[in-house]
């Protein structure tokens, strides 16, 4: 194992998202933070699907935000209806360059420029069954703890001996 690695290790960024998607994600994260909703990006669900953002509100409501950066991005993705099985509310998030009318009326809609974000349409609520809510909440808590530990370790990769 080399002492110095030529590779940058960022455990919280997996590199699959475009710059535009990351910009939209950042704007949504800021909006959710203002609304006191904790969010985790890139969450693998029990169905095998991967949600762009999963949030937990103060009362325990679980929401999923699916990021779409173009009309084509929305049209080729047919997996989003399956996300309803894993949340109380389903949102789409995009930027001002994507026409809002392409998004289904029965989902929430967030538009962001990466800094400010506006919730143009709130998502209707479809309450999860209690057992599914508990399983999702535990999975999200474990995932958040694991990611926090990875971030801590990458920030300080040198393990020192105890005194």
User: Would you give the DSSP letter of residue 131?
Assistant: H
Q: Which two tokens stand for residue 139?
A: 């999975």
Q: In what order do the strands lie in the sheet with 62-67?
A: 38-44, 50-56, 62-67, 89-94, 108-112, 117-121
Domains of the chain: 19-151 (3.40.1350)
Alpha-helical runs (H) found in the chain: 19-34, 71-76, 130-155
Reported as a single tens digit per residue, the pLDDT across 105-160 is 999 999 999 899 999 999 999 999 999 999 999 999 999 999 999 888 888 777 66
Reported as a single tens digit per residue, the pLDDT across 21-69 is 999 999 999 999 999 999 999 999 998 999 999 999 999 999 999 999 9
pTM for the full predicted model: 0.84
């Amino acid at each position: 194992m080399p002492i110095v690695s030529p590779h940058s290790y960022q455990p919280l960024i997996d590199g699959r998202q475009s710059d535009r998607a990351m910009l939209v994600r950042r704007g949504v994260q800021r909006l959710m933070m203002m609304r006191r909703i904790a969010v985790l990006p890139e969450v693998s669900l029990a169905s095998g699907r991967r949600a762009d953002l999963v949030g937990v509100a103060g009362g325990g409501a679980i929401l999923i935000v699916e990021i779409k950066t173009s009309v084509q991005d929305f049209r080729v993705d047919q997996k989003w209806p399956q996300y309803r099985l894993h949340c109380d509310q389903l949102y789409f998030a995009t930027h001002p360059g994507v026409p809002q009318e392409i998004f289904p009326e029965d989902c929430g809609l967030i538009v962001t420029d990466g800094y400010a974000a506006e919730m143009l349409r709130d998502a209707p609520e479809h309450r999860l069954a209690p057992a599914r809510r508990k399983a999702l909440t535990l999975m999200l808590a474990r995932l958040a703890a694991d990611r926090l530990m990875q971030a801590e370790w990458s920030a300080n990769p040198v393990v020192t001996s105890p005194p």
